[in-house]
Amino acid sequence: MSGLGPVNIFSEGGSEERAENARLASFVGAIAVGDLVKSTLGPKGMDKVLQSLTDGNITVTNDGATILKSIALDNAAAKVLVNISKVQDDEVGDGTTSVCVLAAELLREAERLINQKIHPQTVVEGYRIASATALKALEESAVNNGTNEALFRKDLINIAKTTLSSKVLSQDKEYFANLAVDAVLRLKGSTSLEHIQIIKKIGGKLMDSYLDEGFILDKKIGVNQPKRIENAKILIANTPMDTDKIKIFGARVRVDATGKLAELERAEKDKMKEKVEKIKAHGINCFINRQLIYNWPEQLFADSNITAIEHADFVGIERLALVLGGEITSTFDHPELVKLGSCKLIEEIIIGEDRLIKFSGVAAGEACTVVLRGATHQLLDEAERSLHDALCVLSQTVAEPRTVLGGGCSECLMAKAVDDVARTTEGKKAMAVEAFARALRQLPTILADNAGYDSSDLVTQLRARHNEGKSSSGLDMYNGCVADVKELGITESFKLKRQVLLSASEASEMILRVDDIIRAAPRQQYHVFASFYEMDAMMSATITASSFNNDGPCSDMRCSPEQVAYDGPVRQSYWQSAPDPKCGNTWLEADWSAVGAFDIDSFSISYGHLGRTFSANLVGLAVTTAKTATGATETRKIPSSYLYCNSSSSSSSSLSSEPAYFSAGRLDGCMFETGWFGDASLFRNVVGMRFEWTLKAPPLQGAVCQMNVNRIVVRLVSERHGGGGLSGGAVAGVCVAAIGGVVVLVYGVLFHVRRRNLAKRRRAGRLL
C-alpha cells in the first residue's frame, strides 16, 4: 500500500475491517456485552436500571433479554449475542443471560487461543467436538419424571423456584412457584400462555398477588346495568355503537327545514335501536364491544337488563373471545350463526382502588388470571417479567419433561465430560476442547463472584467433587458452599440448558469464522421541502380519521379532512380527532393507494393535544402495506420498542425547521426509522398508514381527550412504483379554538420528503 495512494473501493462512508482488526472488533464487542449482563446471573445477581434518554422513564430489571433489547449497539458481534438472547427468550423464556454469558466466555477463550497462533477454524473444530460431548453428557444426566404426577409437580415447583430465585420475586419464590405451577398445569400441556392473563395493580405487597381462575377485565359496567350475572351468555363484538354513519367523505344531507333534520336525527336513533334489537335477538345478557357504546344504546341495553361493556381494548377482546369461547362479531343479522361466549358468573370486584369485572367459570377451563400487587411500577413490571419467564419455562417443561440440575452442577458435569474427551483428542484442536470446558466452568465462577464468595476456591472444590464422581454437586449460594443440589432442589429445564449450550456454541462459532467486516455506506439523505404544487399528489391520499367534528367550513378552525384548505402563504391544514369524552382510541389513516406503493425510509409524526404529555407507550402505530406481487394488503404493526417517541416543549422540537409555528404549545412526537431502530422490511411497498393512539390519562375536569396531529413527515427511499409526484409538503399555522371552555391547540400538517434520486434532487434544489 505504501507507494500508492489509498484506493477507494467502497463508496464514501463505507468501510472494511480485515482479519485481525475484524476479529478484535468482534471479540471486544461480544465480550463487552457478556460482561454487561453477567452481574445479573444467579440468585445473588444484581439488577440494572435502564434509563431512557428520551423521556427519562426507568425500568429496573434482571432479565438479560430486556437489558440487551434496550441498549443501543453498534457492533456486529454484539448484535449476534443480543439476537441469541432474544431467540432464547422466544424459545424457552429464561436463560437469556446465561446464553449470552456463555457465548462471551467461549469467545474470550477463543481469543486467547488465537493469540497463541491457533487458526480460528481449528478452534471451531474443537468447539464442535466439545459441544457435542457436552450435549451428550447433559442428555445422560437428564431425568424424566413426566410419568409420575407427584414427582413431576415437585420438579416443576423446583424449576420455578430456581428461575424465580434470581429475580425480584426471590423472597416469595415458594409462593410464586406454586402460583406459576398452578397456572401452567391449568393449561393442560399447551404452551400458549395467552390463557394466562397478568394484571398489575400498584399498592399492596408482592405477597398479596394471587391466582384467580377466570378472566378479569379492567373495564366498567355501564350505568344502571346488572352488576352481577349468573350463567352469562355473552356476545363479543367489534362494531360502532355511536351511529352507523355513511363513511364516504363529502356525503352530506341537504334539507330545507328543521323538522326534516329532526326526522333525520330520529332516523339515526331508530337505526341504532334496530341494531340493539338485533343484538338482543341473540338472547344474550352481556354484550361486550371493542368500540365505544354511546349513551343511547347504553340506555337501551340497560332497559332490557343486558350488561354492556364498552371499549374493551383489542388484546382484551381477543382474549375474551378465546377464554369465553365466543367469536368476535360485527354483523348481527344471523343470530343462529353466531357463536356466543358463556361463563358461570360475571361480577365486579375491587382491586386496590379500582373496580374491575371478573368472569368466572369460563368456557376455556385453562384460562386464569394472575393479579400482581407491588409497591412501585418498576417492581410490578419486573415481577411480571419474572413471572412470565417462569411461566414460559414451566410450559416448555410440561412439553419436554426432562430436567437437569442447576447451581452450576450441569456446567461442571459437562466440563468434566469435555475434559475427558480433550485428553483423548489429538492435535491442536484438543486445546480448543479444553478451552470449551474452561468456558463452561466460568458460569459457576460468575455465580459465585456475584454472590461475593471466593469463586476460585468454590469452583475448584466443585470440580474436585465431580471428579470424585459426586455428579450432583453444585453451588449453594445461600450458604456459600458446595452442596448436593439434588437435595437442595435446584432444578432446571433440560430444554433450557440445551438451548443455552447450542445457541452459545453456534453463535461463538459464527463470530469466530468472521474475518472481515464490511460496513455499507449509510444511505445518503437529502432534505427537500416539497414545493407547493407537489402537494397535490400528496393530497391524492385519502386521509380519514376516527370521525370528525364536521362543523362546516374551516371557519371555526376545525376542519374535516376533505376541507383542508390552502390559500396563499398561510396554509392551514391539520387533522383533529373527534373529541372523545371517554378518552378512547383515536386513529388517523392515510391512504396513498391511488398513487401507488413506495418505500419509506422513515416517518415521524407529531401530535399535541389538550396539554397532556404523551409517552411512547401511549401510542401504537400500525402500517398498512401492499405486496406488489399479490396485490394483497396486510397490516404490520411496528413494535413500540422500535418507536422513538419524545414529549418535548416546542423549543426542542427535533423535527421542525419553522419553530415559530409551533411555539404555542407542546410538540410530542414519535418516529421510526427503518435502518436504525427496526426492521427495514416493515416499510417496503407502503400504500397507507394507520396511526393509533390510546389516550390513557383520564380527562381533567371539564376536558375531553382529543388528538391533534400536527404533521406527518415521511422520507422516501425511492419511487419505484410511480410515486412520481409524491413529495408534497405543506405547512400550516397554529390555530387556537376554544371549545366548551377547553383550549385546543391545533397545528398543521407537513410532509417533507428526502430522497436519493439524483434527478429529483436537482429538481428540488431548483425549487428551493
Q: Is position 464 an interface residue for other proteins (rule: CB under 8 A)?
A: no
Q: b/e for 647-683, b at 16 or more Cβ within 10 A?
A: bbebeebebbeeeebbebbbbbbbbbbbeebbeeebb
Q: Are 289 and 219 in contact (CB under 8 A)?
A: no
Sign (positive/negative) of CA torsion 736, 739, 742, 748? negative
Q: Is position 259 an interface residue for other proteins (rule: CB under 8 A)?
A: yes
Q: Are 578 and 549 in contact (CB under 8 A)?
A: yes
Q: In what order do the strands lie in the sheet with 686-694?
A: 542-545, 585-591, 686-694, 619-626, 633-637
Count residues binding other proteins (CB under 8 A): 98
Q: Is position 56 an interface residue for other proteins (rule: CB under 8 A)?
A: yes
Q: Letter for the amino acid at 114?
A: I
Q: Is position 712 an interface residue for other proteins (rule: CB under 8 A)?
A: no
Contact with other proteins (CB under 8 A) among 283, 469, 631, 702: 702
| Residues in contact with other proteins, shown as a per-residue x/- string from 558 to 577 under the rule CB under 8 A | --x-----------------
Q: Is position 115 an interface residue for other proteins (rule: CB under 8 A)?
A: no
Q: Is position 86 an interface residue for other proteins (rule: CB under 8 A)?
A: no
CB 626 to other proteins: min, Å: 30
Q: Are 376 and 202 in contact (CB under 8 A)?
A: yes
Q: Are 565 and 559 in contact (CB under 8 A)?
A: yes
Contact with other proteins (CB under 8 A) among 242, 313, 506, 591: 242
CB 147 to other proteins: min, Å: 37
CB 204 to other proteins: min, Å: 5
Q: Letter for the amino acid at 446?
A: I
CB 306 to other proteins: min, Å: 14
Contact with other proteins (CB under 8 A) among 142, 206, 356, 417: 206
Of residues 275-294, those binding other proteins (CB under 8 A): 294
**Is the Cβ of residue 630 or residue 701 nearer to other proteins in the bound state?**
701
Contact with other proteins (CB under 8 A) among 87, 202, 292, 514: 202
Q: Are 412 and 106 in contact (CB under 8 A)?
A: no
Q: Is position 28 an interface residue for other proteins (rule: CB under 8 A)?
A: no
Q: Is position 353 an interface residue for other proteins (rule: CB under 8 A)?
A: yes
Of residues 139-158, those binding other proteins (CB under 8 A): none
CB 276 to other proteins: min, Å: 11
Contact with other proteins (CB under 8 A) among 1, 7, 9, 49: 49
For residue 659, the SS3 value is helix
Q: Is position 377 an interface residue for other proteins (rule: CB under 8 A)?
A: yes
| Residues in contact with other proteins, shown as a per-residue x/- string from 682 to 701 under the rule CB under 8 A | -------------------x
Of residues 658-677, those binding other proteins (CB under 8 A): 677
Q: Is position 20 an interface residue for other proteins (rule: CB under 8 A)?
A: no
Q: Which residues contact 22 (CB under 8 A, 6 or more apart)?
A: 514, 515, 516, 517
Query: Which residue has 408534497 as its cell numbers?
Result: 728
Q: Among 213, 163, 175, which Cα is nearest to 395's? A: 163
Q: Which stretch binds other proteins (CB under 8 A): 116-124, 130-138, 456-464, 512-520?
A: 456-464
**Is the Cβ of residue 166 or residue 585 nearer to other proteins in the bound state?**
166
Q: Is position 252 an interface residue for other proteins (rule: CB under 8 A)?
A: yes
CB 75 to other proteins: min, Å: 15
Q: Among 575, 571, 573, which Cα is nearest to 532's? A: 571
Q: Which stretch binds other proteins (CB under 8 A): 54-62, 155-163, 518-526, 752-760?
A: 54-62
Of residues 291-320, those binding other proteins (CB under 8 A): 294-296, 298-300, 302-303
Q: Are 369 and 212 in contact (CB under 8 A)?
A: yes
CB 259 to other proteins: min, Å: 4
* Cell output for 348: 365486579
Q: Is position 224 an interface residue for other proteins (rule: CB under 8 A)?
A: yes
Of residues 609-648, those binding other proteins (CB under 8 A): 644
Classify strands 341-351 and 328-329 as parallel, antiparallel or unpaired. unpaired
**Is the Cβ of residue 298 or residue 668 nearer to other proteins in the bound state?**
298
Of residues 394-423, those binding other proteins (CB under 8 A): none
Q: Which residues contact 90 (CB under 8 A, 6 or more apart)?
A: none
Query: Which residue has 400528496 as its cell numbers?
Result: 538
* Cell output for 285: 345478557
**Is the Cβ of residue 375 or residue 520 nearer to other proteins in the bound state?**
375
**Is the Cβ of residue 473 or residue 685 nearer to other proteins in the bound state?**
473
Contact with other proteins (CB under 8 A) among 21, 51, 628, 718: 51
For residue 635, the SS3 value is strand
CB 112 to other proteins: min, Å: 8
Q: Among 534, 669, 521, which Cα is nearest to 602's? A: 669
**What is the spatial distance between Cα 642 and Cα 654, in angstroms, rounded to a whole number?**
18
**Is the Cβ of residue 8 or residue 258 nearer to other proteins in the bound state?**
258
Give a three-class secondary structure readout of 670-705. Answer: EEEECCCCCCHHHHCCEEEEEEEEECCCCCCCCCCE
Within 166-218, residue ranges assigned H as helices are 173-186
Q: Letter for the amino acid at 168?
A: V
**Is the Cβ of residue 154 or residue 438 nearer to other proteins in the bound state?**
438
Q: Which stretch binds other proteins (CB under 8 A): 47-55, 86-94, 147-155, 183-191?
A: 47-55
**What is the spatial distance between Cα 243 and Cα 295, in angstroms, rounded to a whole number?**
11
Q: Is position 253 an interface residue for other proteins (rule: CB under 8 A)?
A: yes
Q: Is position 600 an interface residue for other proteins (rule: CB under 8 A)?
A: no
Classify strands 286-289 and 228-237 as parallel, antiparallel or unpaired. parallel
